[in-house]
A and B are shown apart, each in its own frame.
Chain A
């Protein structure tokens, strides 16, 4: 039995080792930029590279951080209601054939390469969203200043968030469905026997899977923060910080993928990119830990094992 224990603990320990070594490498490589710029690395929005004079180089990731958080929050906000209703529909209302078809579709969506979403988002979704969503909203609400501008190509924070949301729906739906079907039958019977309508029953049951909702939110958010290819193709890649979701922005991941190729031609750029990766990892870790803690606390209330 001990040998079995050893075998099963072997790979998890390697995983932890790999993850911590990544963390150390990131910290080590971002030290030069953190020493040079300090907190302004995070709060400044200037991104200036100079080959001829390293003294002129300045890297602030505020714009990219803003874009990452904005797209991720917006994406999660879109994902949650859509995946919640999909999950309820599948569990409660869908006939068996439809349910199977939906399940297969969702599985296919989950396995599509992200670049497919990216290319589709860039070539089809962005112009469509621009013509049928963004321009009407800007025309109607342009006077509010927030919506006064928009990205002429349709590639913007909103489009990126939409693509992210579509990519995350299969995962979030899977978590919610799993939790919903795990609710012990006695609760369901109890609620119905008390004379609750179907809608009331669903509302009560949803309250019981709060932990799964939080887990789905944490996972969607984490995936949205980390997604690279699809976001880079749809976010517009402009160093512009704006409240409007219709303006082209930048994310930390697109910063990394856009600039790593030539980062070594500058003195500090590669350190700045490592620093950006480190900050992103920290944000993600905090969010996922917070989500998991909340989820497990709620799960305990209803006697679920997590």
Chain B
């Protein structure tokens, strides 16, 4: 190597270090301004990816008011979050499903007290891409037709059973095979959707069942496709005509959304109103935060709720925290403040990210009790 090359490399290194250092320095200065009192507090959490955009929005809004508190949340998956929580790596976990009984007892054994509570609600929408159907129309599907499609018994979009439900657009339903796009990664969304299918169909329950990963019957026929994450499913749907799949509500942009038959026999699309209607119906089945939620079969109780205009496939995302004595006093207080803010101010429209639905006060109440406990009140 010639001397010049060495100089050039050293020069480049210095430039890179300077840029990185500059960014870091600005970051430090930026975070140091406006200290209110005491030392800085860092609260760490990780877990579910579904609520991540919402949690980040809360964190940004909250920490811009409370300069001495820094909150980190990483979307690594519910399972990883639960595991990190039990191993003491994080202060709180975000998780779509509550802890399973064995994990719950493991956590209780370690921490004495463990609390779980919903922080935000959402819905799983069934989205489709059929170019012939106008954007203004919502394809209607009954739960039994949906199950028959997914079991492979209904193959074409122009099947009589689908036509029957959609008399206005029978001429627009094409004679094309139905392609089904599902999550390839282990996912709480899949668990919610398959639990719903198991609730409405005993055949589905006995042949496929529910879980974060299931063996989709359509995969064997070549009409089932896996895609990673909600964004993966949504973009595969967009690039694959005559497909349908399930995604979190926020990911339905640019796709048709199915009006799904609810318990009362009405066809309902997922909207803020229809989800709120469902939430109202289920608020009474939720246990108190210090209970083992797994024993209550929460998912089965909240899905397919009664109510004229209830959307049937709704979901909660939860926080999991431990008893106050497991935290530094300051951290416990700061965490309590954050939880309280999330469940009161944070549920107001201005802080809710598109695609999520605020909790009704009765459900937010569950977590507010935890905030009090954490303060040692």
> A residues touching B (Cβ–Cβ < 8 Å)?
47-51, 122-123, 126-127, 149-155, 232-233, 236-240, 247-248, 254, 257-266, 269
Contact = CB atoms under 8 A, between A and B. Distances in A.
A153 B80 CA distance: 30
B187 A262 contact: yes
A258 B184 contact: yes
User: Which of B188, B223, B227 counts the most chain A CB atoms within 10 A?
Assistant: B227
User: Which of A47, A248, A254, A261 counts the most chain B CB atoms within 10 A?
Assistant: A261
B118 interface: no
Interface in B210-246: 211-213, 215, 219-220, 222-228, 232, 235-236, 238-240, 242-243
Contacts of A238: 184, 219, 224-226
B80 A264 contact: yes
Interface string B49-68: 10000000000000000000
Given A152-B223, A259-B213, 11 more contacts: A50-B211, A51-B100, A122-B236, A153-B227, A233-B228, A236-B225, A237-B226, A237-B228, A258-B226, A258-B228, A265-B78
A265 B79 contact: yes
B186 interface: yes
Given A123-B235, A236-B225, A261 B186 contact: yes
Nearest to B75: A261
Interface string B179-209: 1010011111000000000000000000000
B79 A263 contact: yes
Interface residues of B, number: 39
Contact of B184 (A150, A237, A264): A237
Nearest to B239: A127
25 contacts: A49-B186, A50-B211, A51-B212, A122-B236, A152-B240, A153-B227, A155-B227, A232-B228, A233-B228, A238-B184, A238-B226, A239-B219, A240-B219, A258-B184, A259-B213, A260-B77, A261-B185, A262-B78, A262-B187, A263-B79, A263-B186, A264-B80, A264-B83, A265-B103, A265-B212
Contact of A261 (B49, B235, B239): B49
Contacts of A47: 213
Query: Main SS of the interface on chain B?
Result: mixed
Interface string B228-267: 1000100110111011000000000000000000000000
Contact of A254 (B179, B184, B186, B236): B184
A52 to B, nearest CB: 8
Query: Main SS of the interface on chain A?
Result: loop
A198 to B, nearest CB: 33
Contact of B243 (A152, A260, A265, A266): A152
A265 B82 contact: yes
B19 interface: no
A239 B305 CA distance: 34
B222 A240 contact: yes
B10 interface: no
B76 interface: yes
User: Which of A50, A237, A269 counts the most chain B CB atoms within 10 A?
Assistant: A237
Contact of B76 (A151, A153, A154, A261): A261
